């Protein structure tokens, strides 16, 4: 039982990087307040905020591109040119 706990603990340690973060005292106070409110700690609160912000940004990009692709006008591109990778090369400036 003890052994299993050690393994988990070491696993967490090896996946985590320690960083030094600078921030205004007022913002840090809000982070600490959030940690107290959720029974957590600074590191966990900052990890959660970072992960949430990145996930929101990815989701906005994915949703935005879905809207663009779904709303494409009829561009009638089928049959125009060959495979795109070759078209990119063929239309680059030539020496």
- Which residues of this protein are in contact with another protein, per CB under 8 A? 51, 54-55, 57-66, 68-69, 72-73, 75-81, 83-92
Q: Closer to another protein by CB, 23 or 90: give it.
A: 90
By C-beta, is 29 or 50 nearer to another protein? 50
> Quick one: tokens of 52?
């949430």
The interaxial angle of helices 42-70 and 25-38, nearest 10 deg, is 90
Closest contact distance (angstroms) between CB of 30 and another protein is 25
Residue with token string 């409110």:
37
CA-to-CA distance for 20 and 70, rounded, in angstroms?
43
For the record, the structure tokens of 3 come out as 């052994």
Q: How far is the CB of 31 from another protein (least distance, A)?
A: 21
Smallest separation, CB 65 to another protein (Å): 5
In the 8-state DSSP scheme, what is residue 58?
A: H
Residue 10 or 62: which CB sits closer to another protein? 62
């Amino acid at each position: 039982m003890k052994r299993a706990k050690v393994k988990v603990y070491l696993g967490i340690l090896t996946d985590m990087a320690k960083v030094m973060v600078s921030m205004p005292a007022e913002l840090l106070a809000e982070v600490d307040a959030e940690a107290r409110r959720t029974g957590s700690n600074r590191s966990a609160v900052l990890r959660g905020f970072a992960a949430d912000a990145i996930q929101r940004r990815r989701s906005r990009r994915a949703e935005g591109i879905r809207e663009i692709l779904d709303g494409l006008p009829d561009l009638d591109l089928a049959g125009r040119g060959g495979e795109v990778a070759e078209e990119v090369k063929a239309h680059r400036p030539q020496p």
